[in-house]
């Protein structure tokens, strides 16, 4: 799964990288501890133009009567996304990219303490998670919401967690966004083993209130 991530790329650099028009109300960056229900940067295609715009991380199906009207859906499993009532229309019609500089996962030691790891791209370019989105409105509240698509982890990543976000290569962005016709389903798989690296970080990131660049600093041995 993916329950926390970081984004450090400036907004103008993201707009250029994704060839997208940026909205005026994007969240502040850098943010080293992006948590569920936060507003996150997303890229979607609308009327032939890519848009860089904020969405609430935490997918709200249209039948939820309140934002807490059901489970918090921050991830959508690639294996079942086309069958789940909450996600099946979105994966056909409303796909997006979710930029990230890296994400966190946890293992446990012999005393059951949570040990955080920071997973980041091997190269300099940021990650682009496969995402889906959904508009939700109820009694004066309105949100554009999203979830990160996940798949079984493969290779070295599997030693940390059994699942990981679907990470899309730049050459696959257009297909995922629906700009190149069909075939997006073929992209929902683990990235090549050498696409990411990881290292231990300080347990302070276990708190969703933690902030600052030191959260992604390698833990001193």
Active site residues: 2, 105
The tokens for 99 are 């930029």
Which string of DSSP letters, residue by residue, matches 47-80? TTEEEEEEEEESB--TT-SSTTSS--B-EEETTT
Find all residues with CB under 8 Å of 220, minimum gap 6, and list them.
none
Find out whether 97 and 122 touch, Cβ atoms under 8 Å.
no
Q: String of b and e for 197-210 (b: at least 16 CB within 10 Å)?
A: ebeebbeebeeeeb
The tokens for 41 are 């940067």
């Amino acid at each position: 799964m993916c329950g926390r991530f970081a984004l450090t790329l400036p907004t103008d650099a993201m707009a250029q990288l994704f060839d997208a028009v940026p909205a005026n109300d994007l969240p502040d960056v850098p943010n080293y501890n992006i948590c569920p229900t936060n507003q996150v940067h997303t890229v979607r295609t609308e009327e032939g133009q890519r848009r860089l715009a904020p969405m609430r991380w935490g997918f709200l199906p249209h039948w939820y009567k309140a934002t807490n009207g059901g489970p918090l859906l921050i991830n959508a499993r690639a294996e079942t996304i086309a069958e789940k009532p909450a996600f099946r229309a979105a994966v056909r019609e409303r796909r997006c990219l979710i930029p990230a500089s890296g994400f966190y996962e946890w293992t446990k030691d012999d005393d059951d303490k949570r040990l955080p790891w920071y997973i980041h791209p091997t190269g300099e370019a940021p990650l682009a998670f496969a995402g889906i989105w959904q508009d939700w409105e109820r009694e004066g509240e309105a949100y554009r919401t999203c979830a990160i698509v996940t798949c079984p982890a493969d290779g070295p990543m599997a030693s940390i967690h059994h699942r990981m976000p679907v990470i899309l290569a730049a050459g696959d962005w257009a297909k995922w966004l629906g700009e190149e016709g069909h075939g997006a389903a073929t992209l929902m798989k683990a990235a090549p083993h050498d696409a990411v690296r990881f290292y231990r970080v300080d347990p302070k990131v276990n708190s969703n209130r933690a902030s600052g660049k030191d959260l992604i600093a390698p833990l001193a041995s």
